[in-house]
Structure formats: structure tokens, C-alpha cells
């Protein structure tokens, strides 16, 4: 190759290599400082799309987990109130049996009827005020749709039917359950027994819904973990590998600077020919 001074090809080659290595080093720095292998679509276009989809799905699963936990909270509130109603019905049954005793005088029966009526009113009050997020849980028999997945289909929703434990639905309204008279007290024993059966059936339903939501939550937690792991494999950085690449590119940049400095001095050799 001839000795020329207008075009320093060696310097141009060194500059190109230095530019490439500097660019690679900048990528290393960005990845090491962010902790991500994929920071933009240019890093891995298809990988970024898949990672973003997995992240969106993970967020959806997290929301579904919150929904399922809200469902359990509503069921627990309903069941605790139903438990209290069960205790009141048990006491009413005890009063009905007591009032079925033929030796009671009028005053004693009146006292029993007063407590009996107050207990019934309390059952009605509990049924009316038991609610979660503005929804009455024991007074309307409503069905609540719980979104337990991140897709829009029936398999990602669960329908929970709440109970109606008002006195009219339990059959213990004043016209059907009274202990003011002997015959009424005797009839009340059966009426309250039937009310307890209705109540226990509803509580069993609450329990089955709660167990199902528990299973759903366990599955969602596994799904969330798997989505996070899948996203991590695409997006997250392998620090050991990237550190090795960073060290390699750092050395190449340093050596490139040194070589460029020497390449820039090559035309000076032409001066030795002028003498």
C-alpha cells in the first residue's frame, strides 16, 4: 500500500470499529443499569411483544386475585351473620319448647312471647344490614358475578348466589310463629326447625363457595408465578453474561482508542520522505 496523506484508511477503519464497540458498550451499560435485557423494541422486537403480553396477563391475574379475595370477604361476612341468626333461632326454639308447657300461666307466657318477638325482630334487622360494598348479602338472594380470571368468558367468572334470610323467607314471621298460645308454641317448634334447616343449607352453600374460591386463589397464585417467570426469562438480564460482554467491549473500546491514536499518526511517515 502506498504512502498517502489525504485519506487515512487505517484511521477510518479504526474509527468504524471504535464506533461499533462504543455502541455495544452503551448497550451493556443500559442493560446493567436497568437490570433488563430488553429495554426497547430494537433490543428484541418479538421478545418485547411477548414480555408485554405476559406482563399484562400478570396484572390481570393480580386483579383476579383481589376479586376472589373480595368474594371470600363477602362470604365470610354473610356466614358470620348467618351464624348469629342461627344462635337466635336456637334460642327461639328453646323458648317455643318452654312455651309448649301447659302449666305456664298467662304472665309467664307473655314474658316468653316478648323475648320471642324481639329475637325475630333482631333476625330481620341482621338480614337487612348485612352487606358488602353496598350489596345486601342476606336480604335479597342476589347473585354476584366474581371475575376470577383475566379473560372475557364464562370460565373466568364465578357466580355466587347469596341467601335470603329474612323472617318471611325463613317462615318465622308473626303470622306463622308465635308462642303467645299453647298451640302456637307447639307449632312454632316445627316452624323454627324448618327455618334452621333453611339457614344451615345456606351456610353450607357459603362454605362450598368459599372453598371453591380458595382453590381458585391457589391456582391464580401459581399462574401469576409462572407468568412472572416466563416474562423474566425474556426481559430480565443475565448479569453474569452481560458483565462478561461489558468487560470485553470495554477492552475493545480502550484498545480501539489506542489504535486510532496510532493510526492518526501514520501519515506523518510521509515526512520522512521529504528531506
- Shared-domain flag, residues 228 and 120: yes
In a domain, 224, yes or no: yes
For residue range 185-227, what is the model confidence (pLDDT) as tens digits? 999 999 999 999 999 999 999 999 999 999 999 999 999 999 9
In a domain, 109, yes or no: yes
Q: What is the pLDDT of residue 174?
A: 87
- Shared-domain flag, residues 64 and 164: yes
CATH of the domain at 91: 1.20.1330.10
- Shared-domain flag, residues 112 and 175: yes
Q: What is the pLDDT of residue 127?
A: 95
In a domain, 180, yes or no: yes
Please determine, for residue 1, whether its predicted confidence score (pLDDT) is greater than 70: no
Q: How many domains does the chain have?
A: 2
- Shared-domain flag, residues 149 and 224: yes
Q: How confident is the model at residue 20 (pLDDT cuts 50, 70, 90)?
A: very high
- Shared-domain flag, residues 181 and 70: yes
The mean of the pLDDT values for the chain is 92
Q: What is the pLDDT of residue 13?
A: 92
In a domain, 24, yes or no: yes
CB crowding 89-111: b at 16 or more within 10 Å, else e: beebbebbeebbeeebeeeebee
Q: How confident is the model at residue 4 (pLDDT cuts 50, 70, 90)?
A: confident
In a domain, 4, yes or no: no
CA 264 – CA 255 distance, rounded (Å): 14
- Shared-domain flag, residues 100 and 196: yes
How confident is the model over 136-151, as a mean pLDDT? 93
Q: How confident is the model at residue 274 (pLDDT cuts 50, 70, 90)?
A: confident
Please determine, for residue 2, whether its predicted confidence score (pLDDT) is greater than 80: no
**CA 149 to chain CA mean position, Å:** 9
**CA 171 to chain CA mean position, Å:** 39
- Shared-domain flag, residues 147 and 225: yes
In a domain, 40, yes or no: no
Please determine, for residue 275, whether its predicted confidence score (pLDDT) is greater than 70: no
Nearest one of 172, 200, 163 to 78, comparing CA atoms? 163
How confident is the model over 55-75, as a mean pLDDT? 96
Report the percent of the chain where pLDDT is more than 90.
82
Q: What is the pLDDT of residue 140?
A: 85
Nearest one of 12, 4, 82, 76 to 260, comparing CA atoms? 12
Residue-range definition of the domain harbouring residue 253: 9-35+237-273
3-state DSSP: the chain helix, strand, coil percent, rounded to 5?
A: 75, 5, 20
Amino acid at each position: 500500500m502506498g504512502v498517502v496523506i489525504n485519506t487515512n484508511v487505517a484511521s477510518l477503519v479504526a474509527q468504524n470499529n471504535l464506533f461499533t464497540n462504543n455502541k455495544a458498550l452503551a448497550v451493556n451499560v443500559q442493560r446493567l443499569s436497568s437490570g433488563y435485557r430488553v429495554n426497547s423494541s430494537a433490543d428484541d422486537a418479538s421478545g418485547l411483544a411477548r414480555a408485554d403480553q405476559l406482563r399484562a396477563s400478570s396484572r390481570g391475574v393480580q386483579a383476579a386475585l383481589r376479586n376472589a379475595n373480595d368474594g371470600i370477604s363477602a362470604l365470610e361476612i354473610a356466614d358470620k351473620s348467618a351464624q348469629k341468626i342461627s344462635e337466635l333461632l336456637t334460642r327461639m326454639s328453646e323458648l317455643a319448647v318452654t312455651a309448649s308447657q301447659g302449666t305456664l300461666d298467662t304472665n309467664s307466657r307473655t314474658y316468653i312471647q316478648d323475648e320471642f318477638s324481639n329475637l325475630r325482630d333482631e333476625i330481620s334487622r341482621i338480614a337487612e344490614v348485612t352487606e358488602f360494598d353496598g350489596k345486601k348479602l342476606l336480604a335479597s338472594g342476589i347473585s354476584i358475578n366474581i371475575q376470577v380470571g383475566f379473560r372475557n368468558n364464562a370460565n373466568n367468572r364465578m357466580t355466587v348466589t347469596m341467601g335470603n334470610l329474612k323472617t318471611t323467607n325463613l317462615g318465622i314471621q308473626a303470622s306463622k310463629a308465635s308462642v303467645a298460645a299453647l298451640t302456637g308454641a307447639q307449632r312454632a317448634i316445627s316452624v323454627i326447625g324448618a327455618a334452621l334447616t333453611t339457614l344451615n343449607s345456606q351456610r353450607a352453600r357459603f362454605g362450598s363457595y368459599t372453598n371453591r374460591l380458595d382453590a381458585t386463589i391457589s391456582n391464580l397464585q401459581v399462574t401469576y408465578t409462572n407468568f412472572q417467570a416466563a416474562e423474566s426469562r425474556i426481559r430480565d438480564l443475565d448479569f453474569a453474561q452481560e458483565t462478561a460482554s461489558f468487560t470485553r467491549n470495554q477492552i475493545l473500546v480502550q484498545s480501539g482508542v489506542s489504535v486510532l491514536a496510532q493510526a492518526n499518526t501514520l501519515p506523518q511517515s510521509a515526512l520522512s520522505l521529504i528531506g
